[in-house]
Amino acid sequence: MPKAIIVILIVFFSCKSQEPIIPSKPIAYRQLKTIQYNQKEIDIVVDKPALDAVDVLMVFHGTVLNDSNLVEAANNTLDSFKALLDSHSMMIISVIYPQEKILLGDNVQLCESALLWLKYSASSEMGIKINKIFLAGHSQGAYVATRLNTLYQTDGVIANAPGPLNLVYRCKLEEDGKIKSGVECSKLRQEYGSTTDNPNAYFQRSLMNYTNGYKSDILFFQGLDDSPIQLYSWPTFKQEVLNCTNCNKRQFVEVPQKGHGSLFQDSNAQKEFNLFLKSH
């Protein structure tokens, strides 16, 4: 082969090898995913926008009586919080944490693993950059988010109608036959005996026991037409949180004429929700 042709071929293939590689565009997706951190496995639902760098809202569903309904509850919770957002650029992760076969509060350890995975492993596993991390929850999910705020710093926490606030009071009502017996109190009674025999065991698992040491700013929502059990302990819980001397900023939004789902029912509450996210 003539030398001139060889030179031309070398130049051609050299140029071809130097053509820039066009990265694939980020895609949006929603998927069920099993994650692992600290030798604990937990399922999550991921709703990712078509971005390579995102802020993340990690959300926690409320009480679910049967674990067979957890995925549905996690998806519904994701959708409910997503509908509140002014921005469509936030990734939402809904944590599927169990309840049926464990005592109330024991699932916080699994939720802790989900948060630590998000903080330290998610970016490399998902191939994205994670910027800010927020936690949010409704009812028992707000209980979980509030307890996690005593353990780890994030960019902010939002808790709607957090509870149970006072298991001593609630479970004593059940024991006295004043309200219908529920699964949570029944399991605690089997483990610890009655609230009269062992009130401290019930209090230790109540959110009233977690009113200090908040490591991040937290925004509480409470509907003032919620159940009598919730509203009985709410003023005391609120005051103890306000009295905290080792907490980051605490903010309360009390919503008149709305019940347990006040954040999702009131436009002013939703404005406060988005303002909190934007200001942090």
Express each pLDDT in 99-146 by its tens digit.
Answer: 999 999 999 999 999 999 999 999 999 999 999 999 999 999 999 999
> Does residue 183 surpass a pLDDT of 80?
yes
CA angle (147 as vertex; 145, 152 as ends), nearest 5: 85
What percent of the chain shows pLDDT beyond 90? Answer: 91
As annotated, the residues of the chain forming the CATH 3.40.50.1820 domain(s) are 29-166+215-279
Mean local confidence (pLDDT), 142-157: 98
> Does residue 17 surpass a pLDDT of 90?
no
Structure tokens at 234: 């709410």
**Which one of 3.40.50.970, 3.90.850.10, 3.40.50.1820, 2.60.40.740 gives the CATH number of domain 29-166+215-279?**
3.40.50.1820
